[in-house]
Chain A
Amino acid sequence: MKKVLLVLATVLAAGSCTEDSLVGVDPTSPPGPSSETVELSIAVGDLPLWKDTTFVGYAVPSSSGIQLIATEPALTSRVLGRFSTLPDSIFVDTVRLAVERYESARLRLIVDSLAGPVLPDSGTELRMHGLTRGFDEREASWTEARAGESWTTPGGDLADLLGSVRVDSLQDTLFVPISVDSDSLLSDWLANDGELGYAVSSSADGSNLSLTALALVFDVKPEGQDTLIEVVRGPQPSTFIFSPMTPPPGEELRLGGLPASRVYIRFELPDTLDGVPLRGSRINRASVIFKSLGGPPDPFMTTDTLFASIFDLLTDPFEFGPKTPVGQNFGNFIELDPDVLATGGELDLNVTQLTQAWASAPADSLPDLRIGIRTLPEGGGVGYWEFGDISDPATAPRLVFLVTPPTEFSVP
């Protein structure tokens, strides 16, 4: 009976009193439990553990989404490729017929007009050459056709001119007509799986074209037919080589470029910072602040706004190296503002989600704090940004927290 009455009384007490909210109370003296949100900052050198490094090679020209043709004082670039999938027969209506003759051919180039193509006032001439030396698309560079095998002439061993086009104004689509005998050229490529390939270059200084697509468009005459049929084939493989080559990173932390660089970090946090508990507190915000080292030398300085993302690392990158398996992405894309970074500005890397998990985890099962940072998309250009690492206190990263310690509840 007593229990029933107590329950009834509790229910009555809970339900008997209601109060509307007072809106607009003076914020300097509100009553009730609360906890101040404080800002904390710590240099990574003061953390119990901070390890950072740059790994390279997550995208190379052959796997990037662009192909560069450039003839600038600071950057020279040529596109290399092979048409290794040319057909020797073709469907006509419902019948497959052998190709009797490759009647004509032209190279179709799709220019990325949003990437800021550059063309000198005098225009330029795009030239397509055959190659006298084959190349490995993953290893080819301005100086080497493949690892350990140098070009005779840096930039590719060019053979005869296969075709050219004069470009006086920028257009989204350009065609380079094949001026040699198309049937001979394509038959040779068909017989040799596209070897030795081709190179596309620009003749005039001051040009820079970024291509989003390249294809061979050719007309074939099927056996026993009088009509010509247009066929399109993309290069397989395709890459570009450029000079100067991207310098390897030093101790500084690098994001972007080609081959693409990522920053991998492992760190540990103290349980308290300046007397404020981090473990058990609400982490409203945690940011790793990178200090930019300014713009890299041309041509690796970019004026394009790039983006980056932070992701979880499933194992220790300092044991597993560049192939450390990656986990989920944290948060939104991070804008790499060239106006800020070129002048030595800071980059705010939001690691709130990771540190919240750490702050709320039981003491015997704390998650490891490991992150990777990469540009999106990787290999979108030769430009990159570099940031200070732990070795230089003046430019070393630091962590900034907005923390609300646990609320101390009390009855008065």
Chain B
Amino acid sequence: MTLHALSAARRCAMGALVVICFSADARLVWSQTPFTAVGLGTPVLPIDARAAGMGGTGLGLLDGGSLSARNPADMGFYVRPVIGITYSPESISVKGPGQDLDSGRSRLGVLRGAVPFDDWTLGVAFASELDQDWQIEFADTLRSALGTFPFTEQRVSDGGVSSVNFTLTRRVAGVSLGVEYGIITGNLRQLFLRDFEADTADFQNRIAASAATTSWSYAGSRVRVGAATDVTDRIRLSADVSLQGDLTAERDSLDVLVQSTSFQMPTAFEAGASARVTPRILVSGAAGWTGWSGTEGSSAEFVASDVVWFGLGAELTGARLLGANVPLRFGLRRTDLPFHAPGTTQPTETAITVGFGLRVGAEQAKLDVAFEFGSRGDLAESGVEESFKRLSLSLALFQR
């Protein structure tokens, strides 16, 4: 018996597929990998467009607050029922040694509503937590004793982790205290497809394709408590801490469990504040820490590190469009990313942000728009690098 290793000679061109040829280097192992494919994926900022335009803050914002899925205590400042939804498409460019590869993704970042009554507020929020969406295609060639078969291979990861959060807030002596119970859920579909062309020497000599697919379902829980208060009518402070149980991923086939694995999920602290420094200028800042370093993968494909993040932003009011007040926003933010390849440095994400808001419908509805321009990682240091441009669109009712 003989076992021949697959002779995988790269094709440097095949139609629209362009294969980048270079010698493998340990630090380049992850190159051209979208960040959503690293570790448990990319943590999704659960913020609305107002927060996104102000440096990704979203904690303790004055003047209408934020429908971000952060501190539940921030919901305690609403006096009328409120609901908002945020949609965030982004284009990315994954950097490679020879060529950048462009792609795009979109996600429903957060859907949040709150109903105040007396000193209490009940709320619910659906939020994206971890984005694991990615798909790649590449071309290669299988050389064998039976022929030379070019092939294209597609690998797809479709899904991620999201949460359903139930919040209860009470205002006590000017302080809003909030508690939130989050059900962590989600699913992930994985697909592998290798489609062979005919033998390069004989078009009638063909081999069958390979394909496999599976689905995972996620389950977990989280408790978050927070507090927020208006120190003065111009300054609001907000802080929260969240504790998570393990995230369980289960794979079944015909309703029979075939595989299960668990991940320790992190404890997180975050705090923020906003201040109206002039009648027309609101500044905000927020920072946080998430203890991802306790999370270990089921394989040695990645390491996880703690995350520190911060954001700074400002909102200028007074600009008008068609007679309506249009607040203008800008900011910047920086965050560590939790997952990276062994032997590489922890990647960071930085972005500058701009945005604006528009009240419509007798000012009962509010449309916020934010643009973020940033980058993640560093090809030389962390082995993965991508730049991104993100648009955030939020539509809210009765947000005041």
Contact = CB atoms under 8 A, between A and B. Distances in A.
Interface centre among A26, A34, A274 (most CB of B within 10 A): A26
Interface in A3-19: 5-6, 8-10, 12-19
B210 A284 contact: yes
Contacts of B162: 9-10, 12-13, 16
Contacts of A20: 103-105, 135
B196 to A, nearest CB: 7
B198 to A, nearest CB: 12
Contacts of B5: 38
B212 A16 contact: no
A307 to B, nearest CB: 12
A25 B138 contact: yes
Contacts of B339: 412
A303 B126 CA distance: 75
Given A284-B196, A410-B299, A22 B135 contact: yes
Nearest to A8: B126
Interface in A384-412: 400, 402, 404, 406-407, 409-412
A283 interface: yes
A283 B3 contact: no
A136 interface: no
A400 B187 contact: no
Contacts of B109: 16
Interface stretch (A39-47, A157-165, A198-206, A225-233): A39-47
B190 A13 contact: no
B207 A39 contact: no
A39 B148 CA distance: 12
Contact of B185 (A9, A22, A46, A406): A9
B187 A10 contact: yes
Interface stretch (B29-37, B51-59, B328-336, B367-375): B29-37
A5 to B, nearest CB: 5
A300 B145 CA distance: 30
A32 B1 contact: no
Given A22-B137, A29-B30, A411 B208 contact: no
A51 interface: no
B2 A27 contact: no
B144 interface: yes
A35 interface: yes
B1 A273 contact: yes
A375 B32 CA distance: 52
B140 A14 contact: no
Given A10-B185, A31-B30, A31-B155, A409 B190 contact: yes
B92 to A, nearest CB: 9
Given A13-B128, A37-B6, A410-B299, A32 B137 contact: no
A10 B186 contact: yes
Interface string B254-282: 00000101010000000000000000000
Nearest to A404: B210
A411 B142 CA distance: 27
A285 interface: yes
Interface in B194-235: 194, 196, 204-205, 207-212, 214, 216
Contacts of B128: 13, 16-17
The interface size bin for chain B is 35 or more
Contacts of A63: none
Contacts of A5: 124, 164, 183
Contacts of B94: 22
A266 interface: no
B115 to A, nearest CB: 15
Given A23-B16, A29-B24, A411 B2 contact: no
A6 B185 CA distance: 8
A6 to B, nearest CB: 6
B136 interface: yes
A39 B194 contact: no
Contacts of B19: 24, 26-27
Interface string A322-351: 000000000010000000000000001000
A7 to B, nearest CB: 10
A246 to B, nearest CB: 31
Nearest to A283: B208
Contact of A17 (B32, B133, B155, B263): B133
Interface string B36-70: 11111000000000000000000000000000000
B136 A412 contact: no
A33 interface: yes
B124 A17 contact: no
B398 interface: no
Given A17-B132, A22-B34, A29-B33, 11 more contacts: A10-B162, A22-B32, A25-B33, A38-B6, A39-B144, A284-B196, A348-B205, A407-B214, A409-B212, A411-B249, A412-B39
6 pairs of A and B residues whose beta carbons are closest in the complex: A16-B108, A32-B155, A13-B162, A407-B212, A19-B133, A404-B210
30 contacts: A8-B126, A9-B126, A16-B162, A17-B107, A17-B159, A19-B104, A19-B105, A20-B104, A22-B135, A23-B18, A24-B17, A24-B138, A27-B138, A29-B31, A29-B32, A29-B33, A33-B212, A34-B153, A35-B210, A36-B6, A37-B142, A42-B1, A273-B3, A285-B207, A352-B207, A400-B144, A409-B190, A411-B40, A411-B263, A412-B339
Interface of A: 2, 5-6, 8-10, 12-43, 46, 273-276, 282-285, 287, 332, 348, 352, 356, 400, 402, 404, 406-407, 409-412
